[in-house]
Amino acid sequence: DAGVIQSPRHEVTEMGQEVTLRCKLISGHNSLFWYRQTMMRGLELLIYFNNNVPIDDSGMPEDRFSAKMPNASFSTLKIQPSEPRDSAVYFCASSYQGTGGSGGTGELFFGEGSRLTVL
């Protein structure tokens, strides 16, 4: 398996533009996490999906951010309109989590990240 694949790796855009970040999960994984990493705040959870359903989106900064899982293997994170303070590295990570307490290993598999710069 190629691992979690994110695109684009780098994005430079101007304030006010729409940004779409993409993530392909590892085959067989059923949980998807979007994190944002900055020097000031470290790795912050934005949103968590389990079996394509958003479970926790309390970390999504505001209505400008939206995330979707149109199918079990793919997710998008959209920022519209983008602002300079959105500049960060955005990571997605996938894992397998069982049901009824059987659980997976809990470990997350991260992509290489999308570095976003908003001018």
**Contact residues: other proteins, CB under 8 A:** 4, 31, 33, 35, 42-43, 45, 48, 50, 56, 91, 93, 97, 103, 105-113
User: Among candidates 2, 1, 19, 23, which has minimal Cα distance to 11?
Assistant: 19
Least Å distance, CB 105 to other proteins, is 7
* Cβ closest to other proteins, residue 33 vs residue 65: 33
Least Å distance, CB 32 to other proteins, is 12
CA 8 – CA 22 distance, rounded (Å): 7
User: Among candidates 77, 106, 105, which has minimal Cα distance to 91?
Assistant: 77
CA 28 – CA 105 distance, rounded (Å): 13
Least Å distance, CB 38 to other proteins, is 10
